[in-house]
Amino acid sequence: MQKRLIVLLSLLVVLVMALSAYAAPAPAAETQAGGEEAAAPASAAAEEGEKILVVALGADPTSLDPESVMNNESGFVMSTIFDGLTKYNKGTSEPGPGLAESWEVSEDGTEYTFKLREGVKFHDGTDFNADAALAELDRVINPDNPYYVYNQEGVHSFATFTWGLVTGTEKIDDYTIKITLSEPHAPFLASIAMVWSGMMSPAAVEKYGFDVNYNPVGTGPFKFVEWVRNDHITLEANPDYWGGAPKVDKLIFRVVPESSVRLLKLEQGEVDILADVNPEDYTRIEENADLTLLRQPGLTVNGLTMPFEAEPFTDVRVRQALNYAVNKDEMNEFLYKNAAITAATGMPPILMGYPKDLEPYPYDPEKARELLAEAGYPDGFDFTLLCYENPRGYNPVGIKMAVAIQEYLAEVGVNLKLETLEWGAFLATRRSADNQDMGMVGWSGDNGDPDNFLYEMFSTDMIPVGNTSHYSNPELDDILITARTVTDPEERAKLYEQAATIIHDDAPWLFVNHTLQVRATRANVDGFALNPLQMFWYMEDVDLK
């Protein structure tokens, strides 16, 4: 009998092991590989006195060419490799000097003359000068360029957003260029400071063609060394950086999909900075003297899209009903652990032009049922919701947001079928022109301008990549386009107030919340500052004490 018991117990143990092997190949491998590798550099560091800063990301970047990618993980890494002509001042979304030392804008607001910084070299040794800058611009505005960014399959680019109005570029002398726009464009200087406007070495484009996506060469504080897909990206310090040599020798971005594994790695000192923090862990981090939790109001918006051209969402009452049906305040309190405020429209309240008296849709399931009944759906309806799984900067709880909303909507008879796709497939599906599902959606501000939220996600021009709900309102389009050209800040603010109110009323999204930006570091990480745009700028100032 005892023998049998032993056999049974060992069977149990084997099964548990087999199960964990089946069920969690990725995290198990991750922990092991991470443990070994992290141990290796640590001992190497002790020998050579190298300072290695490790940042944990929740997902792998998709590409590292600033002009042909638009997702946060790629941006996080690229913000340490590249500079733009302008650069946000530390901790703000105000554009200041970058690769351009100074600039002049013509009276009519259409001609920008940039004086470029002298003596700057790309990581491959190429000089940064007027020729290099113009070669890079050619790649984003000239469809005849062999490496025109849009000539790639499935590319998602800010090129049109940033450079779309450029009608001419001109070299004045070796370190002066002139860019001409077809019309005045208020957010231009802010837009060209974005990580997506980083200057790539023309020699690298020549050498790698579209493969610069995986061989980035910039002028920034860190040089690209290697990228092991879904594991890590290694960068080394650029001692000649024009903004000052970095204080650490190496910067490693490590991909750790499991938030609990990320936290453990931070606690054990295997990583130094977490790019995303699971709200459940805020308290645990704050209570640990070895760790620091950083917070700042975020330039984010988070919600669900409702397909504008698909029944029943063609009826504004249905779209509003869904907004009334979800208890967003409760979600913010319990799911987001108070690190979020309820959203009323498609832009965060800290931006200029936010209408001050605009209130979010209150939680009112009765009203939701009434509106659904008026629209002809007294018993609700069924619909598919496309979901991503992992936390994002604008949505630190990932798919749990969708699960919570699913339950609220079920109360008013709207039954969502959740369909989870991995991040790449999710983006490709949601940004395709023929997709008619609801989708999780969110945005982290790129240039600190309301244009970057409202025009990007709600104008007809941006269907289907930016505007994934395919929402189209000609009146709103007029306002958004006018607001791009008006240079008077007060007048612009008024236009955005109107636009934000129209978007609130039309409700093309189920607006959920604006999350705070939260990051965690080891306490010995010195000089690390959050900025409203979430990117890892000024990493040259970060040191390990």
Partner 1 sequence: MGNVSLTASSDRVNLAAEPLLRRPSTIKRLMRSPSAIIGLVIVVSLVLVAIFAPLIAPYDPIKQSFRIQLQPPSIGHPFGTDEFGRDILSRVLYGARWALFVGLLADSIALVLGVTLGLLAGYFGGKTDGVISLLTDVMLAFPYLLLAMIVVAVLGPGITNAMIAIGIVYIPQYTRLVRGTVMSIREKEFVEAARCIGLSPFRIIVRHTLPNCVAPIIVMATLAIGWAIVETAGLSFLGLGAQPPTPEWGAMLASGRNYMLSAWWIATFPGLAIVVVVVGFNILGDGLRDALDPYLSHR
Nearer to partner 1, 258 or 461 (CB): 258
According to CB under 8 A, which one of 50, 111, 389, 543 is a site residue for partner 1?
389
Task: Confirm or reject binding of residue 498 to partner 1 (CB under 8 A).
Answer: no
Nearer to partner 1, 105 or 421 (CB): 421
- Which tokens go with 196? 């997506």
CB atoms within 10 A of CB 118: 12
Beta bridge partners of 170: 178
According to CB under 8 A, which one of 8, 28, 40, 172 is a site residue for partner 1?
8
Alpha-carbon distance values, 340 to 136, 157, 251, 258, 337 (Å): 39, 28, 30, 22, 8
Q: Distance between the two ends of the chain, CA-based, in angstroms?
A: 60
Task: Confirm or reject binding of residue 407 to partner 1 (CB under 8 A).
Answer: yes
Task: Confirm or reject binding of residue 406 to partner 1 (CB under 8 A).
Answer: yes
| Burial (CB count within 10 angstroms: exposed 0-12, middle 13-18, buried 19+), residue 541 | middle
Stretch that binds partner 1, among 207-215, 417-425, 446-454, 536-544 (CB under 8 A): 417-425
Task: Confirm or reject binding of residue 334 to partner 1 (CB under 8 A).
Answer: yes
Secondary structure percentages of the chain, helix, strand, coil, to 5: 35, 20, 40
Distance CA 35, CA 30 (A): 8
According to CB under 8 A, which one of 104, 379, 422, 490 is a site residue for partner 1?
422
Task: Confirm or reject binding of residue 40 to partner 1 (CB under 8 A).
Answer: no
Tell how strand 381-387 and strand 414-420 pair up: parallel
Residues 6+ apart with CB under 8 A from 333: none
Beta bridge partners of 251: 53, 235
CB atoms within 10 A of CB 69: 22
Stretch that binds partner 1, among 53-61, 69-77, 255-263, 470-478 (CB under 8 A): 255-263
Number of amino acids touching partner 1 (CB under 8 A): 43
Residues 6+ apart with CB under 8 A from 8: none
Q: Chain-centre distance of CA 428, in angstroms?
A: 16
Task: Confirm or reject binding of residue 415 to partner 1 (CB under 8 A).
Answer: no
Rounded to a whole number of angstroms, the minimum distance from the CB of residue 289 to partner 1 is 17
Q: What's 127's DSSP letter?
A: B
Distance CA 139, CA 135 (A): 7
Nearer to partner 1, 226 or 422 (CB): 422
Nearer to partner 1, 357 or 434 (CB): 434
Task: Confirm or reject binding of residue 264 to partner 1 (CB under 8 A).
Answer: yes
Stretch that binds partner 1, among 97-105, 212-220, 278-286, 307-315 (CB under 8 A): 278-286
Stretch that binds partner 1, among 143-151, 273-281, 443-451, 463-471 (CB under 8 A): 273-281
Among 275, 371, 380, residue whose Cα is nearest residue 324: 371
According to CB under 8 A, which one of 45, 310, 403, 529 is a site residue for partner 1?
403
Cβ–Cβ under 8 Å, residues 182 and 110: yes
Residue at 226: amino acid letter: E
Task: Confirm or reject binding of residue 329 to partner 1 (CB under 8 A).
Answer: no
Among 478, 437, 432, residue whose Cα is nearest residue 455: 478
Rounded to a whole number of angstroms, the minimum distance from the CB of residue 390 to partner 1 is 10
Residues 6+ apart with CB under 8 A from 171: 130, 131, 134, 177
Distance CA 342, CA 302 (A): 9
Nearer to partner 1, 178 or 284 (CB): 284
Stretch that binds partner 1, among 61-69, 175-183, 237-245, 404-412 (CB under 8 A): 404-412
Task: Confirm or reject binding of residue 228 to partner 1 (CB under 8 A).
Answer: no
Task: Confirm or reject binding of residue 418 to partner 1 (CB under 8 A).
Answer: yes
According to CB under 8 A, which one of 404, 409, 427, 518 is a site residue for partner 1?
404
Task: Confirm or reject binding of residue 281 to partner 1 (CB under 8 A).
Answer: yes
User: How many CA atoms lie less than 13 Å away from 526 in the CB half-sphere?
Assistant: 8
Stretch that binds partner 1, among 12-20, 45-53, 200-208, 364-372 (CB under 8 A): 12-20
Task: Confirm or reject binding of residue 515 to partner 1 (CB under 8 A).
Answer: no
Give me the residues that bind partner 1 (CB under 8 A), please.
1, 4, 7-8, 11-12, 15-16, 18-19, 22-25, 27, 258-260, 263-264, 278, 280-281, 284, 330-331, 333-335, 389, 399-400, 402-404, 406-407, 417-422
